[in-house]
Amino acid sequence: MLNKKALICSVIAASMLCTVVFAGCGENKEESSSADTQSSAAASDNEGGSDESKASQTSQQEASKEESKDEDDETGPIPEIVDPTPESSGEMADGGIFVYNNVAYELFYGGESAAKDYAETISFVKKQLGDKFTLYNVVVPTHVGVDLPDKFKDLCNPQDTYLDTIVKSYSSDVKGVNAFNKIVHHRDEYLYFNSDHHWTALGAYYAYRAFAKAAGVTPVELSSLKSDKIEGYTGSFAYFSGRDDLKEDTVTYYYPSYNVDCEKYDENGENPQEHALLHTYAEGSNAYGVFLGGDEPILVTKNPQGNGKKIAVLKESYGNAFSPFIAYTYSEAHLIDFRYAHIDLKSYLEKNGITDVIIINNSMASATPDRLDELRAIVGGGYVDTNASEEESGTDETADTEEGGDDITFIDETGNTDDTDDTDYTDDTDYNDYTDDNTDDYTDDYTNDDDYTDDE
């Protein structure tokens, strides 16, 4: 694969083309993934902000409403999406972003071969790890595949079909978790941001419950957690599209009443430093950085009230909102951003006595060749640095370009990469790769050493 970089803006003449083979939209139903089990409380290293008791009460009331739906959320009807402006046809914005009702969606196309390539990569990871490790793979739909009104379903390929192909294509020793069914049954809730490509903590929570069911572990209940909110979030879509009319977002984060210890390590798994699991001072365009403080190579959490088990989570940035729930559940969790960690995974797991591993990717990341290269590298003993320039190696977590820093693979005008011809495209539209998305690439850096480590 080519490891070239470029800023993406498909509408302007200077824009560069990037490889992402995937997308999906329209209303879709999925057979796989999760229901719910009942649960005990969990843990975090942060206490909430102001008006704690009021926030906690509100959180518990909202959580109780969500949990009351859980018993039949995969067997009942999928919530109908009400079209607020049926006469509107939406519009394309810079960066290949589709805007409808002041909400931004990213329209990407991908098909069977991309899904099978990803499943083959996950199967390769499992083969390299061997039989003594249990590997779970969680694939998460993006916003466009969950709640864009049905009248736009022909704009892109259905994500339920794409994700189902992935789950059916693993080797038999991979435990696939397709979160689509769990999420789509809650699609009338606030699961994705209006101005950013990430999901909310609530969306991440439902994927976490899908994993918990597959793994046979007791999930933490939202009603047992406190919450706080960061208002006024405007994210990556607002930045890349140049639109100032997108709906502002609220970033809600959840935490228990007791601490989970957290340390961060460098890309080699060395030089531990105290770190906050939730960076509650994050704000503005950096508000998603509340989760883990951004994209750190390796974080290790220890929870004295956990379930007595250890687990490793291999993730990209969607995993940042997902990982706190894992930390609230497990006694020890190793949160590894496979894009930036320069480790041999098998040796790392053996050294730390870990036998259970989760790989979590959003659908777009699953169809991005750089992400597949990085997953293969982390179990192959070597490291493919898709963030480095052609002249130098090593990770670059700060800025690939001043404007955005996404790592890009070029595609030709037919929609195929320079070195592969098996990706599926349905048109020649240019699409963005938001899968390498340190928030500090275009905003403040919440991952530096001077970050607060105690947010109480």
Each residue of 348-364: pLDDT tens digit? Answer: 999 999 999 999 999 99
Q: How confident is the model at residue 214 (pLDDT cuts 50, 70, 90)?
A: very high
Q: How confident is the model at residue 155 (pLDDT cuts 50, 70, 90)?
A: confident
What is the model's pLDDT at position 26?
A: 44
Instruction: Please choose, from the candidates 206, 254, 251, 222, the residue with its C-alpha nearest in 3D space to the C-alpha of residue 60.
Output: 222
Q: What is the mean pLDDT of the chain?
A: 76
Q: First and final CA of the chain: distance in angstroms?
A: 45
Question: Torsion-angle region of residue 147: left (phi > 0), alpha (psi -120 to 50) or beta?
Answer: alpha
pLDDT in tens, 330-346: 999 999 999 999 999 99
DSSP output for 298-356: EEEEE-TTS-S-EEEEEE-THHHHHHHHHHTTSSEEEEEETTT--S-HHHHHHHTT--E
Q: How confident is the model at residue 81 (pLDDT cuts 50, 70, 90)?
A: confident
pLDDT in tens, 52-64: 444 444 444 455 4
Residue 169 has pLDDT above 80, yes or no: yes
What is the model's pLDDT at position 166?
A: 95
Taking each helix axis from N to C end, the angle separating 318-327 and 201-215, rounded to the nearest 10 degrees, works out to 60
Residue 456 has pLDDT above 90, yes or no: no
Q: How confident is the model at residue 406 (pLDDT cuts 50, 70, 90)?
A: very low
Q: Residue 142 in contact with residue 196, Cβ under 8 Å?
A: no
What is the model's pLDDT at position 25?
A: 53
pLDDT in tens, 31-45: 333 333 333 333 334
Spatial separation of the C-alpha atoms in residues 205 and 211, rounded to whole Å: 10
Residue 4 has pLDDT above 90, yes or no: no
Instruction: Please choose, from the candidates 402, 404, 408, 405, the residue with its C-alpha nearest in 3D space to the C-alpha of residue 431.
Output: 408
Spatial separation of the C-alpha atoms in residues 205 and 222, rounded to whole Å: 8
Spatial separation of the C-alpha atoms in residues 447 and 296, rounded to whole Å: 7
Phi, psi of 70 (to 5 degrees): -70, -35
Q: Residue 100, Cβ neighbours under 10 Å: how many?
A: 18
What is the model's pLDDT at position 110?
A: 72
pLDDT in tens, 280-332: 999 999 999 999 999 999 999 999 999 999 999 999 999 999 999 999 999 99
Q: What is the Cβ-side half-sphere exposure of residue 392, based on CA atoms within 13 angstroms?
A: 4
Q: What is the Cβ-side half-sphere exposure of residue 165, based on CA atoms within 13 angstroms?
A: 19
Q: Residue 262 in contact with residue 277, Cβ under 8 Å?
A: yes
- Give just the sign of the alpha carbon dihedral 321, 325, 327, 328: positive
What is the model's pLDDT at position 85?
A: 86
What is the model's pLDDT at position 237?
A: 94
What is the model's pLDDT at position 73?
A: 55
**For the chain, which residues make up each domain, given as ranges?**
52-82+94-441
